[in-house]
Structure 1
Amino acid sequence: MVNIIQQSGGGDLAAFTAFLAVAAHRSFRSAAAELNITPSAISHAIKTLEQRLGARLFNRTTRSVSLTDAGERLAEKLRPAMASIEEALQSVDTEAGTPRGTVRINASEGAIRLVLKPVLARFLRQYPQVHLDIVSDGRLGDIVSDGFDAGIRLAEAVPRDMVAVAVTPPMQFAAVASPAYLHARGRPLRPLDLHQHDCIRFRFESGAIYRWEFERQGVTERVNVSGPITLTDQPLMVDAAVDGIGIAFVPEHLALEPLADGRLLRLLEDWCPEFPGLSLYYPGHRHVPPGLKALIGVLQQQVGSRQPA
Structure 2
Amino acid sequence: MHRSGLTELEVVMAVVRRGSFRGAAQELGMSATAVSNAIAGLESRLQTRLFNRTTRSVALTDAGQRFVARIGPALQEIRQASEEIHSDSGEPAGTLRLNVPNNIGALFLDELLIDYMRRYPKMRVETVSEARMIDIVAEGYDAGIRLAESVPQDMIAIPLTKDLRQRVVATPDYFARYGTPETPDDLLHHQGVGMRMSHGGIYRWELERRGERYELAVPPRFATSDLHASIRVVKAGLGIGFLPELYIQQELDGGELVSVLDEWAQPFGGLRLYYPGHRHVPPGLRALVALVRERGVYPHAPLADIMA
Task: Determine if the TM-score, normalized by the shorter chain, exceeds 0.5.
Answer: yes
Q: Aligned residue for 1:75?
A: 68
Q: Is the 8 A contact 2:73 2:137 kept in 1?
A: no
Q: Is the 8 A contact 1:112 1:136 kept in 2?
A: no
User: Relative to 1, partners in 2 of residues 1:138 and 1:45: Cα closer, same or farther, differing over 3 Å?
Assistant: closer
2:100 to 107, 110, 127: 107
Q: Is the 8 A contact 1:169 1:303 kept in 2?
A: no
| Structure 1 residue identity aligned to 2:195 | F
User: Relative to 1, partners in 2 of residues 1:53 and 1:265: Cα closer, same or farther, differing over 3 Å?
Assistant: closer
Q: Is the 8 A contact 1:93 1:290 kept in 2?
A: no
Gaps of 5+ in 2: 303-308
Partner SS, residue 222 of structure 1 = strand
User: Relative to 1, partners in 2 of residues 1:98 and 1:183: Cα closer, same or farther, differing over 3 Å?
Assistant: same
When structure 1 is superposed on structure 2, of 173-182 and 226-235 the one drifting more is 226-235
| Structure 2 residue identity aligned to 1:110 | N
Q: Aligned residue for 1:206?
A: 199
CA separation in 2, counterparts of 1:188 and 1:143?
A: 42
CA separation in 2, counterparts of 1:223 and 1:269?
A: 16
Partner SS, residue 110 of structure 1 = coil
Partner SS, residue 103 of structure 2 = helix
CA separation in 2, counterparts of 1:64 and 1:52?
A: 23
Deviation at 1:67, TM superposition (A): 4.9
Q: Please say if 1:232 is aligned against 2:233.
A: no
Question: Normalized against structure 1, the TM-score is what?
Answer: 0.83
| Structure 2 residue identity aligned to 1:301 | E
| Structure 2 residue identity aligned to 1:225 | V
CA separation in 1, counterparts of 2:48 and 2:144?
A: 33
User: Relative to 1, partners in 2 of residues 1:189 and 1:67: Cα closer, same or farther, differing over 3 Å?
Assistant: closer
Q: CA RMSD in A?
A: 2.9
Partner SS, residue 165 of structure 1 = strand
Q: Please say if 1:287 is aligned against 2:295.
A: no
Q: Aligned residue for 2:242?
A: 249
Partner SS, residue 208 of structure 1 = coil
Q: Aligned residue for 2:78?
A: 85
Note the alpha carbon deviations across 1:92-148, whole angstroms, 9 max, x for none.
456652212111111123224322332222211111111111011012222233222
User: Relative to 1, partners in 2 of residues 1:257 and 1:11: Cα closer, same or farther, differing over 3 Å?
Assistant: same
Partner SS, residue 263 of structure 1 = coil
CA separation in 2, counterparts of 1:86 and 1:179?
A: 54
CA separation in 2, counterparts of 1:23 and 1:139?
A: 13
Q: Aligned residue for 2:170?
A: 177
Question: Normalized against structure 2, the TM-score is what?
Answer: 0.83
Deviation at 1:248, TM superposition (A): 0.6
| Structure 1 residue identity aligned to 2:205 | W
1:297 to 290, 294, 301: 290
Deviation at 1:297, TM superposition (A): 2.2
User: Relative to 1, partners in 2 of residues 1:102 and 1:178: Cα closer, same or farther, differing over 3 Å?
Assistant: same
Q: Aligned residue for 1:156?
A: 149
User: Relative to 1, partners in 2 of residues 1:73 and 1:265: Cα closer, same or farther, differing over 3 Å?
Assistant: closer
Q: Aligned residue for 1:263?
A: 256
Partner SS, residue 109 of structure 1 = coil
Q: Is the 8 A contact 2:166 2:244 kept in 1?
A: yes
What fraction of aligned residue pairs are identical, expressed as a percent?
Answer: 41
